[in-house]
Amino acid sequence: MSMNRFRFKKIDAFSTGQSSGNPAGYILIDGQVPDTDMQQIARELKGFVSEVGFVRAGSGSEDFIIRYFSCEREVAFCGHATVAILDDLIKNTPTLQAKNIIMIRTNAGVLAVENRISTEGMIYIHSPLPEYKENVPDLEETAHALGLTPGDIDPAIPMGIVHVGQHILIIRLTTLEACIRCLPVYETLRAFALSQGIEVMHISARETQYLGHAYRVRVFAPAFGYLEDPATGSGNAAFGYHLIRSDLWDGRSLVLEQGPDLQYPNIVYIELSPDGSMLFGGNGIVRIDGYYCLH
Tell me the per-residue pLDDT of 94-111, one tens digit each, with 9 for 90 and over: 999 999 999 999 999 999
pLDDT for position 2: 62
Give bridge partners of residue 24 from the DSSP assignment: 11, 51
SS3 state at 131: strand
Q: What's the CA angle centered on 208, arms 146 and 135, to 5 degrees? A: 40
pLDDT for position 179: 98
pLDDT for position 172: 98
Q: Return the domain boundaries, the chain.
A: 4-129+281-294, 131-275
CATH homologous superfamily of 131-275: Diaminopimelate Epimerase; Chain A, domain 1 (3.10.310.10)
Q: How far is CA 95 from CA 66, 91, 98, 182, in A?
A: 19, 10, 6, 45
Q: Identify the helix (H) or strand (E) that includes residue 211.
A: none
SS3 state at 41: helix
Cβ–Cβ contacts within 10 Å for residue 191, how many? 13
pLDDT above 70: percentage of residues in the chain: 99
Q: How far is CA 153 from CA 84, 132, 170, 178, 190, in A?
A: 32, 21, 11, 9, 19
d(CA 122, CA 182): 30
pLDDT for position 270: 98
- C-beta separation of 122 from 113 below 8 A: no
pTM of the model: 0.93
pLDDT for position 19: 85
pLDDT for position 78: 95
d(CA 245, CA 241): 6
- C-beta separation of 206 from 215 below 8 A: yes
Residue 32 burial by CB count (10 A; 0-12/13-18/19+): exposed, middle or buried? exposed
pLDDT for position 77: 95
Domain 4-129+281-294 matches domain 131-275 at the CATH topology level: yes
SS3 state at 128: coil
CATH topology for 4-129+281-294? Diaminopimelate Epimerase; Chain A, domain 1 (3.10.310)
Which parts of the chain sit beneath pLDDT 70? 1-2
Tell me the per-residue pLDDT of 1-10, one tens digit each, with 9 for 90 and over: 567 899 999 9
d(CA 67, CA 185): 29
> What one-character-per-residue DSSP string does 66-92 give?
EEEE-SSSEES--HHHHHHHHHHHHHT
